[in-house]
Amino acid sequence: MNFFKRELKYFLWWIGARFPLLPSIMFHKVRPYLWRLIGVKIGKDVSIGYGVYLDIDGSHRVKIGNHVLITSECMILCHRRDLSNYRRGNLQKELSYLEKEVVIEDNVHVGMRSIIMPGVTVHEGAVIAAGSTVVKDVPAYTVVGGNPAKIIRELE
């Protein structure tokens, strides 16, 4: 990726994530707009809280549906180290990365300080409890929580 284009993406994300003024406008309008500019596919009526971290280099791998609420200080990760070939004596910093898509479908609520790992799909109507680490797909209309996130209950 072009150096200046990458730095511009980081700058736009930083402004959106950290700008302390006008919280309601930033939450409902500005952050989703800035995320679209850096490559995230976002539906309508999406709200993104303060300090949400996003893999900037993998922003094109994030898809967010309509009517999604992502609360403050969450993390959406699109890459991780590939540990499949990691053995004693290997250097961790020399391991390659696995890059996978993250899909958040319509009408999802992501609780504060949750982490969504690479390759996860959060299906329609799901709720992720605050502080959860989501490592596998979340079924539609369920509440998940914990580390790793497990189904707490199914919604009627």
The per-residue pLDDT for range 52-92, each reduced to its tens digit, is 999 888 899 999 999 999 999 999 999 888 777 778 887 77
Domain boundaries, the chain: 3-84+93-154
Between 6 and 130, name the one with better pLDDT: 130
- CA separation for the pair 60, 10 (Å, rounded): 14
Report pLDDT for 23. 67
- CA separation for the pair 29, 155 (Å, rounded): 29
In CATH, the number for domain 3-84+93-154 is 2.160.10.10
Between 2 and 111, name the one with better pLDDT: 111
Which of helix, strand or coil describes residue 69?
Answer: strand
pLDDT, mean over the chain: 90
Catalytic residue ranges: 67
